[in-house]
Amino acid sequence: MAVVAVGMRPSSVVPRTCCLGVSRVSRRAPLVACCRQSRSSVSPGDAGPLCETLGVVPAQPALLSTVRAVRRTLAEVGPAFTRSEGDFARISLPDQDCDVLRDLLVGVHARVVVEIGLAYASSALAIGEALVQQGAERSKHVVIDPHQDLFRNTGWDAITAAGLDGLCTLLAERSQLALPRLVAEGFVADAAFVDGSHIFHRVFADLAYLHELVRPGGLIVLDDYRWPSVATAARYFELNTGWQPVLPHTPTRLRAFRVPDPRTEPAFEDFTPFSMEDAPPS
């Protein structure tokens, strides 16, 4: 079996963003582009409505084999570029946790997934594997990450090497700006994976918008639940909006929550206090 090289494209190559309409709200007339051919990046404030048309993807069995080969190479060899010694192991989702993430998404039949944080793309490849397993031709993967330039586009190179750029869109801006726009556009996801900023108020803002974005019965998966800021933010939604923990059988640093179906909201006067101390152990 041929080894698929990860991160071998020149760093000057701009990430492809497919299925993306582009507009500058209140500054110019909307410019919509379904990006089967587009090679332009998306700047903060430039990303507009997501188009329904998806890029062309290879036949599913071949694509699944390629995705798994790239995942295996990345886990065993690592990326071609890292920001510093040990950075890949320090910030990437470990391969066994990637398997847990993949299985969680397959378990809820997720076809549209929002991911916050790309980095070296370990989790993105696992998400791509879950989507391709279920039929890539009707899948969408929206990745939000303003910092791919700091990684010399290594994460996007891995997505491209895996053949997933036809179903994946990269929004190169902060999640706290991108998510409310997606909510306003009526975008609906089956699941979300959160591994962005761990600053409490930014985690909380991400989860508040994902509570609106992810369909009732859908799944929100958090990395680094052991971090007090992450666990505390999630605890609010458990106690006040009815998020239900979904505990995998395999030990993992992830924590998954199911959005209630129907979606619930607290009454105007109601508030259940939340804190790190009463959050369930990771």
Q: What percent of the chain lies above the pLDDT cut of 70? A: 76
Q: What is the pTM of this model?
A: 0.80
- Residue 39 CB contacts under 8 Å (≥ 6 apart), including other chains: 14, 16
Look up residue 128 and give its amino acid.
G
Q: Quick: pLDDT tens for 131-150.
A: 999 986 789 999 999 999 99
CATH class of the domain at 56-258: alpha beta
pLDDT score for 281: 63
- How does the average pLDDT of the chain come out, rounded? 82
Q: Quick: pLDDT tens for 3-40.
A: 344 443 333 333 433 333 322 222 222 212 222 223 23
Q: Quick: pLDDT tens for 81-94.
A: 999 999 999 999 99
pLDDT score for 42: 43
- Residue 155 CB contacts under 8 Å (≥ 6 apart), including other chains: 118, 119, 120, 121, 124, 145, 148
Q: Locate the domains of the chain by residue range.
A: 56-258
pLDDT score for 249: 83
Looking at the DSSP bridge assignments, the partners of residue 252 are none
Instruction: Look at residue 195 and tell me whether its pLDDT is greater than 80.
Output: yes
Specify the range with the lowest mean pLDDT, choosing from 17-21, 45-49, 121-125, 225-229.
17-21
Average pLDDT value for residue range 193-216 = 97
Q: Quick: pLDDT tens for 166-179.
A: 999 999 999 999 99
Average pLDDT value for residue range 243-248 = 93
